[in-house]
């Protein structure tokens, strides 16, 4: 009997585990290495918000969420599209449902049951886990080097899958330390940058103290030619949330170039300025400005005070001016939060450094998958979907090359 091909997977997140599943099912001897004491730590963290696995929108709209990386990711996402991820989840005994926004979640609304079932499958397929192993690169002979509990360890697999994540969750293992290791091997990299991240706003002390932590709901957020309707959250440092994350790439790049960016918010996107003027022309009957706006436009205390915060002395009870201000709240974003506060990262291994199978051109037999590749997407299921898809795609390519 011929020896089974040995595969080292470095990184026990969704991309690495997806690769390990395909490779072990294909007859390879797979070992998953990770510096953390347990697998899937970032996956579990993602599950705290309900584990948004993917999205149910039409495929062309879905792939468009990946922006400039859409063309590079298309083969992987076509090979393992959202319906395939949903079917895979159901196979592991975790039924899914589609939320009102089109996002797909497991009915359990958490990651732990799915991860347990997944790890049980991997164990049944013979996958070996070597945890608390910190990857240190390669020896001069080309063996993988790890620092483990008992010192240095080396291994010489037939192929290697790098699934090391970005740099947005250092305490969960994704700290970007692999950048220096690949730079030494002449792998083309793009600088890591914060994605799906909050932005700094110079709130007044009074506004910050009163409203930090409160959501701004059902608003429309505009920047450049992009418009997103959704929710954001006021924070001590500024603003964050799903609608902000959808615009974060353009906002981040503008701030990097210009030093700031102006985000426009429409507090009543379902109503025209003329309709607001009509409602604001009702008699005030001695109401304060706040009560007047609350009754006429159903503005919340947060929305009313945001108008005051932004428009200052110009905030006066004049129907035409108020209607315009409600439709045009302009926030000056003065900075981007640090990369270790981001949900994900942009940058990493450039697609130009990879062949069509996700193998590194500078390192034959070494594949890169998941968030360490140079792509970004908003929250909403797009992040996990691409991690699963790239991990499985590289694994299928390995099987086609060295299948037992």
Residue 279 has, within 13 A of its CA and on its CB side, a CA count of 19
Phi, psi of 330 (to 5 degrees): -105, 115
Tokens of 138: 């390669």
Phi, psi of 275 (to 5 degrees): -65, -40
Which helix (H) or strand (E) segment is 147 a member of?
strand 144-148
pLDDT score for 1: 42
| pLDDT per position as a tens digit, 319-373 | 898 899 999 999 999 999 999 999 999 999 999 999 999 999 999 999 999 999 9
Q: Are 76 and 390 in contact (CB under 8 A)?
A: yes
Tokens of 309: 């915060």
In degrees, rounded to 5, the angle at the alpha carbon of residue 71 between the alpha carbons of residues 87 and 97 is 25
In degrees, rounded to 5, the angle at the alpha carbon of residue 278 between the alpha carbons of residues 298 and 266 is 50
- For 157, left (φ over 0), alpha (ψ -120 to 50), or beta? beta
| pLDDT per position as a tens digit, 382-392 | 999 999 999 99
pLDDT score for 2: 63
Residues of the chain with pLDDT under 70: 1-2, 313-317, 403-404
pLDDT score for 285: 72
- CA torsion, points 273, 274, 277, 279, in degrees to nearest 10? -110
Say which DSSP state 38 is in.
S
Tokens of 212: 């930090």
Contacts of 311-315 spanning 24+ positions with Cβ under 8 A: 315/289
How is the chain split among helix, strand and coil, in percent rounded to 5? 40, 25, 35
Instruction: Mention every residue, 6+ apart, whose C-beta is less than 8 A from residue 23.
Output: 7, 9, 30, 161, 395, 398, 399
Which helix (H) or strand (E) segment is 297 a member of?
helix 289-297
């Amino acid at each position: 009997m011929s020896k089974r091909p040995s595969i080292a997977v470095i990184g026990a997140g969704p991309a690495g585990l997806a690769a390990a599943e395909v490779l072990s099912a294909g007859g390879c001897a797979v070992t998953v290495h990770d510096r953390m004491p347990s697998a899937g730590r970032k996956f579990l963290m993602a599950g705290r918000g309900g584990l948004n696995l993917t999205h149910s929108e039409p495929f062309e709209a879905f792939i468009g969420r990946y922006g400039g990386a859409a063309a590079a990711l298309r083969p992987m996402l076509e090979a393992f599209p959202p319906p395939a991820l949903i079917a895979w989840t159901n196979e592991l005994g975790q039924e899914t449902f589609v939320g009102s926004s089109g996002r797909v979640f497991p009915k359990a609304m958490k990651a732990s049951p799915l991860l347990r079932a997944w790890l049980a499958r991997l164990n049944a397929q013979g996958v070996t886990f070597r945890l608390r192993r910190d990857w240190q690169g390669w020896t001069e002979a080309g063996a993988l080097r790890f620092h483990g509990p008992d010192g240095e360890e080396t291994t010489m697999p037939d192929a290697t899958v790098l699934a090391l994540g970005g740099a947005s969750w250092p305490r969960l293992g994704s700290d970007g330390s692999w950048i220096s290791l690949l730079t030494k091997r002449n792998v083309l990299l793009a600088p890591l940058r914060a994605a799906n991240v909050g932005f700094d706003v110079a709130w007044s002390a009074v506004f910050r103290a009163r409203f930090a932590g409160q959501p701004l709901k059902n608003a429309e957020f505009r920047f450049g030619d992009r418009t997103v309707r959704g929710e954001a959250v006021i924070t001590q440092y500024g603003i964050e949330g799903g609608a902000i994350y959808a615009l974060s790439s353009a906002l981040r790049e503008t701030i990097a170039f210009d030093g700031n960016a102006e985000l426009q918010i429409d507090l009543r996107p379902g109503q025209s300025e003329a309709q607001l003027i009509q409602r604001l022309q009702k008699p005030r009957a001695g109401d304060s400005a706040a009560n007047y706006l609350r009754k006429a436009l159903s503005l919340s205390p947060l929305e009313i005070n945001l108008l005051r915060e932004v428009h200052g002395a110009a905030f006066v009870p004049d129907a035409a001016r108020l209607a315009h201000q409600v439709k045009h709240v302009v926030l000056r974003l003065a900075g981007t939060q640090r990369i270790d506060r981001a949900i994900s990262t942009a940058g990493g291994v450039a697609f130009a450094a990879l062949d069509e199978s996700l193998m590194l051109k500078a390192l034959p037999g070494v594949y890169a998958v998941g968030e360490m590749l140079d792509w970004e997407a908003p929250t909403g299921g797009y992040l996990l979907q691409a991690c699963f898809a790239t991990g499985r795609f590289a694994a299928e390519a390995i099987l086609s090359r060295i299948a037992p």
